[in-house]
Amino acid sequence: MQITTDIKQANKIKELIKKECANYDNGQCILLEIDCPQMNCMYSVLCKYFINSILPLDKELYKQLLPDAEETKELYNKVCQSCNKQFTTDKKNGQYCPKCKDKIKKEKTRLRVQKHRDKCNAF
């Protein structure tokens, strides 16, 4: 999927990244360990993380860049109960951002396995 932008939209994208992107640090992308590729990009949106996680935070820009996506699902703006970061989800009751949800799920599995083991050891 190719998303093209004009200069005005590109500048908005850069502001959004600076403000909201969890992987952006001083011009660098923590994930890729190189300069943020999106920051050098004027006419298109390359970053999948940006499209999925950052762009929906700006509803107006989201609608401009992805006019078709709006109708398929409704997104809710939420604040993560664990890390207090803003995120969007299509689930009305979503409490945790995708990163924390994953962490919590793993933690729960670990606890369950541990509990199970404790029970076994008691006999």
Least spacing, CB of residue 61 vs Zn ion, in Å? 23
Least spacing, CB of residue 98 vs Zn ion, in Å? 8
Least spacing, CB of residue 79 vs Zn ion, in Å? 9
- Pick the closest to residue 17 from 2, 41, 96 (CA basis): 41
Question: How far is 25 from 21, CA to CA, in rounded Å?
Answer: 9
Residue number, 12 or 99, with CB nearest to Zn ion: 99
Q: Give the residues lining the site for Zn ion (CB under 5 A).
A: 80, 82-83, 97, 100
Amino acid found at 122: A
> Would strands 28-29 and 34-35 be described as parallel, antiparallel, or unpaired?
antiparallel
Residue number, 50 or 96, with CB nearest to Zn ion: 96
- DSSP H helical segments within 56-97, as ranges? 59-65, 69-72
Whether the CB-CB separation of 82 and 99 falls below 8 Å is answered with: no
Residue number, 4 or 82, with CB nearest to Zn ion: 82
Least spacing, CB of residue 54 vs Zn ion, in Å? 14
Residue number, 10 or 98, with CB nearest to Zn ion: 98
Sequence-distant (≥ 6) Cβ neighbours of residue 57 within 8 angstroms: 16, 20, 77, 86, 88
